[in-house]
Structure 1
Amino acid sequence: MAGPHALSTAFEPASIAVIGASDAPGSVGRMIFRNLMEGGYRGSLYAVNPKYESIQDHPCHRSIEDIGRPVDLAIIATPARVLHSVTAQCGRSRVRNAVIVSATGHTLERRIIETARETGLRLLGPGSIGIARPGSGLNAALTRITVKPGEIALVSQSGAMCSVVLDWALTNGVGFSSVISLGGTVDIDFGETLEYLTHDLQTRYILLYVDHVRNARHFMSALRSAARVKPIILLKAGRHGHADGSTPAAATAALADVVFEAAMRRAGVVRVQNVDQLFFATKALSCGFRPREDSLAIVSNGSGPADLAADRAKDLGTGLVNLGSPTIAALERLGGRERRTHNPLDLGGDASAQLYRDAILALAEDGAVSNLLVILSPHALVDPVEVAQEIIDLAAQVRLKLCCCWMGGGQVAEARTLLEKAGIPVFSSPEAAIELFHNISRFHRSQTLLLQTAGGGSATAWRRSGGARVLVESLLNQRRHILSAMESKALLRSFGIPVTHTTVARDATEALFVAEQVGFPVAMKVDAPEVSSKSESGGVRLNLNTTESVWSAYHDIVDTVRIRHPEAHINGVSIEPYLYRPRARELSIQVHRDAIFGPVISLGPHDASAPRTFALPPLNAVLARDLIDSALPPATQGPRSQPGTLNRSAIEQVLVAVSDLVCELPAVRELEIGPLIVDAEGAIAADARVLIDQGLPAGSDRYAHMAIHPYPLHLVQDWKIGDGRAVRTRPVRPEDAQLLLGFFESLSAETRFMRFMEEIEELSPALVARFTQIDYDREMALIATTLDERGNEQMIGSARYALAEDGGSVEFALVVSDAWQRYGLGRRLMGAIIEVARNKGCRAIFGDVLGKNAKMLRLMQGLGFTVQPHPEDSALRRVVKPLLGK
């Protein structure tokens, strides 16, 4: 049965014990205990220290065990040498959660976590500075800084960064709903904390400072769930490894950071690059600044500052909008003299407050302008305060999102203060203002990728994956880990990727016969699995048109590769048709396994030195398109008739097929398609290389290697009802939006009311997205479909569950089309959704049912649910079924 979140006793404790509380000046225990008392904590507060009878006029206990009653939260502020024994005492005393302030070594960490797990004690830290919930009077943090209440949650692995942000926030009047210092994250980590904050009514925005990620799946799942409803701004350190950038560690760090960036884009998170950007974004969020697009206009009283802003916008890819003809005409009439009227707009050094006002009103009439940056330099003929007051008055009148940059020092200080008090973001440099626009507006771009929740899998890919698994398993049984070109292409072909036909010749004579059979011209490539780059090894010859050239090329290839790679085992030389496509481009698709986020797909030119763009699988067409747009220059995306134009649809299909392959084959460690030859007609893989290993341990979740749960093809089931009609049950996909709308329209008013418990005439776009674009790791929606008389798929039922606030149970919903009731469809759907929840390890499944819905209550009782009174509404019943141990 659902209840409060599992961490509610940690972040909303009814009782707190400070172990190591002290009266000693400058001690950790003294500062934390004082903060709790002075902060107005309203729960039971206990001091624990065998050296004192009382602390700060508060009775003191010799040990946590002397308290004699359970405690929700213990703050452990003791020396590291006694941490293990104190943790054991907390476990024996039924303490639910503990914050470890002290830093520890790895050996001590392991002992502490093992002891805590034996008793169910949850740990925050080590190295945490504690927790603050200022709206509730809770300040259990090691800080001298006053934390004001607000709507922003700060979650950080670094205690130092917590202090930095809190100090800045106090100066700038920014408040927090929560401050949670995770420390070493040996137990409680980002995943569970984000789950809690997602449901926290006091939190509207979330700031994260990340050092490292321990559990990518949990992290990504919770991050994506939270980002759906609350903007998240993230700062991560360690982007470039060592300072000199020359060591292997630096290169590894750089690649890992690129992967992290791809993950954050997919999670719908705004990632900032430095502390200043974090502060600016925090301030903007607290002021309610939410630009929804990148279309930006700039107005200034000088060309220099305006051009600096435009340059920075171009650097970041933030679009400066093209002004419409009516807007340009209106601007040309301003002030009675000629002026520059394109974007950015220069009003001149003598621009008055009235001129600023008229220009902003003219820009507000242009529907293409969404955001406006107003820049002011302290010219002698300009009054910064008057202009600021005009901006404040206009902010409530126009639809534009306004941001200001008042450049200078003392002459603009008063004006800046006025703007800040009015809640308008104001900066001292144009670059900082543009970065804010870019970072905050990027949130909305990220939301588009967030909603693409792994819906690209197909039943065809699922069927094909069976043969591919047999191929991989047979190679692993032979203790093989590197596939030949022929084997690699066979693997690609099994997932529908077009490949060139390849035959391996074992000697020069065989090469002649193969070439004649293939037909000239041919391409010849060394078949040596250990050689990663055939071209660089001298193992490639192209466009061979005669038997003589094939004979010479065979010997030349073998001799050259043996000299350059004497350790390589050469199986022979592969021969394939030479592809002559003068308008084609050679691309490369690669897959590597990141240590944190698992498989990562990258796309770029077939050139080792060229930059690449990365994305986390699973991909669908939308995500594949985004990867293509990021990786390829705009010149490649013109009309099909232009030379060099690429068939983007063909690249999308290959990327989605590669994604399906790595999702369904966890044994694939590395994969490279290169070159992938693409022109206006299509795409074909001319060469491929695949490395495999043993994959997942026996008994693992089939997608345990993925950071983002892909479309669960294995849950697709076909069956027939009693009268012989065929029904398919399958997980919902994002593409099912129209199917869902048709299903909703087919429901009677009574069935709609029973499902939603209120009268709903239509589904909003937000609800449609919510029902079809799901995170399969945290929730599941199975739909039942059949074919109508025209052979079109129609939806006839749905069962779904979502993770409850307690983090261990799930809440279900069930609805069946009126015409398909009484055929056992509801029982079938519920049985399937219950089994999915049980396999996920959920403790229980529950739902709320109208008391007058007798049919649903009978069905639930027949499935083993118990019917209980609803804790909040007498018109409802709560039905509950335990899952563990059943």
Structure 2
Amino acid sequence: MERWTAMKAHYLSPLFQPNNIVVIGASETTDSVGARVFRNLLDAPFKGALFGVNLRHGAVFGERVYDRIAAVPVDEIDLAVITTSARTLPGLMRECGERGVKMALVLSRDFVAVDSSNRALLEEAVAMARQYGVRLLGPNLLGMMRPSQGLIAANYQGHVKPGNLALVSQSSSVASAILDWAEAHEVGFSAVVSMGAAADVNFGEILDFLSQDSQTRGILLYLEDVGEARGFMSALRAAARQKPVVCLKVGRDPNPTDHAARTHSYRLIGRDDAFDAALRRVGVLRVPTMVHMSIAIRMLAANYRTRGRRLAVISNGYGAGRMAVDRARELGVEMPRLDAATVAYLDQSLPPIGNHDNPVDILGDAPPERFLVAAEACLADPSVDGVLVVLTPQAGTDHLATAERMIALRRKTDKLLMLVWLGDKKIALSRKLLDRAHMAYFFSPEHAVEAFASLAAWNYIQELSLQTPGPLSSRSEPHVAQARQVIAGALAAGRSLLTTAESLVVLDAFHIPHPPTLPAATPEEAVAAAARIGLPVALKIDADNLIHKSDIDGVLLNLNSLEQVADNAEAMLAYARQRLPAGSVHGLVVQKMHGKRHGRELMLGVARDAVFGPIIAFGSGGLTVDVFEDVAVTLPPLNDMIAGNLIKRTKVARALGPFRNHPAADVESVKQILLRLSEMVCELPEMVELDLNPVVVDEHGAVAVDASIVVAALPPGFRRYSHMAVHPYPAHLITHGQLKDGMACVLRPVRPEDADELQYFVRVELSDESRFNRFMSTLKQLSPGMLVRFTQLDYAREMAVAATVTEDGRERIAGVARYTANPDAASCEFAVSIADRWQGKGLGVQLMEALFKAARDTGLSSIEGDILGSNTAMLGLMKKLGFDIRPHPDDATLKWVVKAL
């Protein structure tokens, strides 16, 4: 029962919390990077030890400096800030490595991406850094800041005050603009990191540190590109589960559409759709513009939240109130009617003229007390989640006193109170007052409503990010082997597009309903098939590499006689053989017409994004699918909640309800097909594109009328679920065990819903000694943040296996083993705890063996941990499991244990 490894210093601590800094290239040369960085660190001032390196001078700004880094008089150097030109970098990295520097911040700005010689210099420098174990951030960046420590290691002119927000930006210019805005509005930062070229340390690693940073309460991201998706998504998900993350991303390029043979799903989903879906899935709020980013900064800095989407608007001007109402309707923000008791109270308290339901009009001459009465009443209304107060400076309006009332009111309510102070010169003084109080105030009603909508959306995506659906349905297991056999056959034949018959076999394997369908090589066989299936039928061409059959008139519907089938089959085959390559036409498929008089046509599909992997699409279907482009997308795996939300985000969702003589469609049957698609995505990684178009749904259910599936061979070394950006719940790791006394136990990965049971396990089932052995502290229970981290797992980089037993009909946790992958992505560090009353029953071995299997599944090659030297029982277990037990390199009271997997 070793200590909680997360209590160790993060490996990026030398960057964010250095004890000492060396500025290489420190200078007094006006406007040089070295001068500005050294001056910033002196003026802040940096709270650790600061050294400079300059080849020509012995002093810079009156401070002694050294001619080389080897001469700096300190045992270990945490952070070297390199401000010299690109050509010096490889040599400097060698010097840093030989000197034992832990982190290098490379501010050199002359690395031009298209310059092959500079690219070679950078590659040489990175290789040198890796050889010596030096981590490198940069180059081409503004720098990094930790204002609370006086760490302003940046080429920036301006004041950055301490605060609770972290800013991570790929662009130096955008970071500078945000910092300038923040200074004017008295917004502070816990950290500011400019990423630049990110040649070594990447976004995911920075986010990993900030997610654990106690100084950071919210994270702001500016992105232009995403590199490796799995690590980025893992870190982003971990951060967003613990604190708000807001992202502004540029570059909304669509997928290339010059491949006419691609599926509708591929052609309709752009790169930006995939990124949007990825952010939504991990719980990150995306904003569209710098204006919205500034709004988000203000809201996050003040720690504003809303529990729902119901907004009440109060205004002393009808027109200003209507601006808010109109924008709310456009964004789907609910404007509820106030409770009768609230309206009655407002009728008594406000002038009889004006509207006293939502929106509340308190008239242009409203004094501060009238604003206060209306706001208090609306905040107390149970049908309201947030209140927006709009003030317009009119004769008799006391904007300063009203601002003071609103500031005081905010301290008394746990609901969201938002303000709009319209105007400029007349209300400048009260705006400054609101700024100092960190009130959620805005310059226009529209921006305020957009902020409220964003907060409501953030609430939803937080709920969405907690969903950990498994890869397979619990209702009926799919025949995965059958589907894989069909795909393997097509790939062996050199085909990437499955035939219609093959596609239907795959649909059958995953229990996706479709009309009865038979193949027919000749017109005579088509007639026999139609007679067998029953009229009316549809005829469709079956040919290699033909995704869109209608492009060659390869679909005929509602054939009501065998004579029609015979005549049309012969003509269709002849025309197809004229249009398509020789030997590619297999014949026809004959399909029973779906017979859904009230049917709505939908499109369900899968496409593969280059960065985020498989994406599931839903929208309106049929021949006009490319015309209306009514499609919503999400990342798999899905569950009922995610599938339902995907449907609701489209326009065609409205057509699924009752209208005119059409009864409501069976939406549940559509959800079930989406869930089956999710299973296919998880278990058939060879499937890169799929169209079910149309899927026809009516009040009796849904059927897939046509299917196109594109496949590709797996890359060498492929690992289960590695094609997915969001790892599904690893249900395949669930096993059954038995304790020495014969009692049954289940070993399974931890789920988010285990939070309460895990808290009980730590608080009740572990003794003080066991808790100390596990966490190296005297804590009595897990904090909310620890509960989140321990139960809301990213299975791609961490695992927790719980051993559960059933007592009095309730599942109880008897022990937990967990690992977290190290930055090298090859090793992991583990922890294990067993409840005192379940110790000595053979549970430790079973837990650790389950953990070994999970680690091997993800490609990890070794597992390691540190254990108290006095914990003889745990050391005995480690020896039994084959661990190598060594002296700990940093702490004589600990033992370091390592095992190859």
Whether these two folds match at TM > 0.5 is yes
Cα distance between partner residues in 2 of 1:747 and 1:440: 34
After superposition, residues 232-247 of structure 1 pair within 5 angstroms as 232-239=245-252
Selected match of 2:734 from 704, 716, 735: 716
Aligned 8 A contact 2:148 2:162 in 1: yes
Aligned 8 A contact 1:667 1:696 in 2: no
Q: Give the aligned partner of residue 34 of structure 1.
A: 39
Selected match of 2:665 from 646, 649, 658: 646
AA aligned opposite 2:55: P
Greater CA deviation, 298-307 or 655-664? 655-664
1:203 counterpart = 2:241? no
Q: Give the aligned partner of residue 432 of structure 2.
A: 417
Cα distance between partner residues in 1 of 2:792 and 2:501: 38
Q: Give the aligned partner of residue 897 of structure 2.
A: 881
Selected match of 2:96 from 75, 81, 90: 90
1:80 counterpart = 2:86? yes
Which string of whole-angstrom CA distances, capped at 9 and with x for unpartnered residues, describes residues 141-166 of structure 1?
11011111111111111111111111
Once the two structures are TM-superposed, the CA of residue 547 in structure 1 deviates from its matched residue by 1.2
Q: 1:653 to 1:872 in 2, by over 3 A?
A: farther
Selected match of 2:328 from 313, 336, 351: 313
State the identity as a percent: 36
Q: Give the aligned partner of residue 116 of structure 2.
A: none
Cα distance between partner residues in 1 of 2:650 and 2:616: 12
Selected match of 2:630 from 603, 611, 636: 611
Selected match of 1:679 from 691, 695, 698: 698
Q: Give the aligned partner of residue 834 of structure 1.
A: 852
1:48 counterpart = 2:61? no
Q: 1:587 to 1:568 in 2, by over 3 A?
A: farther
Aligned 8 A contact 1:676 1:687 in 2: yes
Once the two structures are TM-superposed, the CA of residue 753 in structure 1 deviates from its matched residue by 6.3
Aligned 8 A contact 2:885 2:897 in 1: no
SS in 1 for 2:252: coil
Which string of whole-angstrom CA distances, capped at 9 and with x for unpartnered residues, describes residues 393-425 of structure 1?
322234432111111121111222222222212
After superposition, residues 749-760 of structure 1 pair within 5 angstroms as 749-750=764-765
Aligned 8 A contact 1:124 1:185 in 2: yes
Once the two structures are TM-superposed, the CA of residue 83 in structure 1 deviates from its matched residue by 2.8
Which string of whole-angstrom CA distances, capped at 9 and with x for unpartnered residues, describes residues 784-811 of structure 1?
468999xx99566443315389886434
Aligned 8 A contact 1:810 1:842 in 2: no
SS in 1 for 2:585: coil
AA aligned opposite 2:412: Q
Q: Give the aligned partner of residue 720 of structure 2.
A: 702
Cα distance between partner residues in 1 of 2:762 and 2:404: 55
Once the two structures are TM-superposed, the CA of residue 47 in structure 1 deviates from its matched residue by 2.2
Q: Give the aligned partner of residue 880 of structure 2.
A: 862
Selected match of 1:586 from 601, 623, 628: 601
After superposition, residues 112-191 of structure 1 pair within 5 angstroms as 112-191=125-204
Aligned 8 A contact 1:784 1:829 in 2: yes
Once the two structures are TM-superposed, the CA of residue 114 in structure 1 deviates from its matched residue by 2.8
Greater CA deviation, 509-518 or 758-767? 758-767
SS in 1 for 2:531: helix
Cα distance between partner residues in 1 of 2:303 and 2:879: 48
Q: 1:755 to 1:710 in 2, by over 3 A?
A: farther
Once the two structures are TM-superposed, the CA of residue 761 in structure 1 deviates from its matched residue by 11
Structure possessing the higher relative contact order (Cα contacts under 8 Å, 6 or more residues apart):
2
Using the size of structure 2 for normalisation, the TM-score is 0.88
SS in 2 for 1:535: helix
Q: 1:253 to 1:681 in 2, by over 3 A?
A: closer
Q: Give the aligned partner of residue 551 of structure 1.
A: 566
Q: 1:158 to 1:307 in 2, by over 3 A?
A: same
SS in 1 for 2:90: helix
Once the two structures are TM-superposed, the CA of residue 81 in structure 1 deviates from its matched residue by 3.0
Selected match of 1:262 from 245, 266, 277: 277
SS in 2 for 1:361: helix
Which string of whole-angstrom CA distances, capped at 9 and with x for unpartnered residues, describes residues 448-477 of structure 1?
011013435347887732332233223222
Aligned 8 A contact 1:866 1:879 in 2: no
Once the two structures are TM-superposed, the CA of residue 442 in structure 1 deviates from its matched residue by 2.3
SS in 2 for 1:426: strand
Cα distance between partner residues in 1 of 2:891 and 2:130: 37
AA aligned opposite 1:708: V
Cα distance between partner residues in 2 of 1:741 and 1:125: 42
SS in 2 for 1:368: coil
Which string of whole-angstrom CA distances, capped at 9 and with x for unpartnered residues, describes residues 814-853 of structure 1?
34695x76553331122211343355537644477897x8
Once the two structures are TM-superposed, the CA of residue 24 in structure 1 deviates from its matched residue by 1.3
Once the two structures are TM-superposed, the CA of residue 482 in structure 1 deviates from its matched residue by 0.9
SS in 2 for 1:289: coil
1:775 counterpart = 2:775? no
Aligned 8 A contact 2:105 2:137 in 1: yes
AA aligned opposite 1:138: L
1:110 counterpart = 2:117? no
Q: Give the aligned partner of residue 64 of structure 2.
A: 59
Q: 1:4 to 1:502 in 2, by over 3 A?
A: same
Cα distance between partner residues in 2 of 1:22 and 1:463: 68
Cα distance between partner residues in 2 of 1:762 and 1:832: 26
Q: Give the aligned partner of residue 517 of structure 2.
A: 502
Cα distance between partner residues in 1 of 2:799 and 2:712: 30
SS in 2 for 1:498: coil
Q: Give the aligned partner of residue 364 of structure 2.
A: 349
Q: Give the aligned partner of residue 5 of structure 1.
A: 10
Unmatched tracts of structure 2, length 5 or more: 114-118, 261-265
Q: Give the aligned partner of residue 514 of structure 1.
A: 529
Once the two structures are TM-superposed, the CA of residue 720 in structure 1 deviates from its matched residue by 6.3
Q: 1:785 to 1:750 in 2, by over 3 A?
A: closer
Once the two structures are TM-superposed, the CA of residue 272 in structure 1 deviates from its matched residue by 0.9
Aligned 8 A contact 1:332 1:338 in 2: no
Once the two structures are TM-superposed, the CA of residue 266 in structure 1 deviates from its matched residue by 0.7
Greater CA deviation, 15-24 or 450-459? 450-459
Cα distance between partner residues in 1 of 2:655 and 2:802: 40
Cα distance between partner residues in 1 of 2:469 and 2:103: 35
Once the two structures are TM-superposed, the CA of residue 233 in structure 1 deviates from its matched residue by 1.0
Once the two structures are TM-superposed, the CA of residue 221 in structure 1 deviates from its matched residue by 0.7
Q: 1:627 to 1:849 in 2, by over 3 A?
A: farther
SS in 1 for 2:175: helix
Aligned 8 A contact 1:749 1:759 in 2: no
Over aligned residues, Cα RMSD in angstroms? 3.7
Aligned 8 A contact 2:520 2:590 in 1: yes
Q: 1:655 to 1:254 in 2, by over 3 A?
A: closer
Once the two structures are TM-superposed, the CA of residue 554 in structure 1 deviates from its matched residue by 1.2
Cα distance between partner residues in 2 of 1:308 and 1:163: 33
Q: Give the aligned partner of residue 263 of structure 2.
A: none
Aligned 8 A contact 2:229 2:725 in 1: yes
Once the two structures are TM-superposed, the CA of residue 259 in structure 1 deviates from its matched residue by 1.1
Once the two structures are TM-superposed, the CA of residue 298 in structure 1 deviates from its matched residue by 0.5
After superposition, residues 476-487 of structure 1 pair within 5 angstroms as 476-487=491-502
Q: Give the aligned partner of residue 803 of structure 1.
A: 820
Using the size of structure 1 for normalisation, the TM-score is 0.90
SS in 2 for 1:197: helix
Q: Give the aligned partner of residue 25 of structure 1.
A: 30
Q: Give the aligned partner of residue 487 of structure 2.
A: 472
Q: 1:190 to 1:516 in 2, by over 3 A?
A: same
Greater CA deviation, 520-529 or 54-63? 54-63
Which string of whole-angstrom CA distances, capped at 9 and with x for unpartnered residues, describes residues 479-536 of structure 1?
2211011111211221222233322211111111111122222111111232222234
Q: Give the aligned partner of residue 577 of structure 1.
A: 592
Unmatched tracts of structure 1, length 5 or more: none
Aligned 8 A contact 2:268 2:631 in 1: no
Cα distance between partner residues in 2 of 1:370 and 1:14: 46
SS in 2 for 1:89: helix
Cα distance between partner residues in 2 of 1:306 and 1:99: 50
SS in 2 for 1:571: strand
AA aligned opposite 2:168: V
After superposition, residues 429-468 of structure 1 pair within 5 angstroms as 429-455=444-470, 457-458=472-473, 464-468=479-483
Q: Give the aligned partner of residue 538 of structure 1.
A: 553
Aligned 8 A contact 1:375 1:407 in 2: yes
Cα distance between partner residues in 2 of 1:748 and 1:455: 29
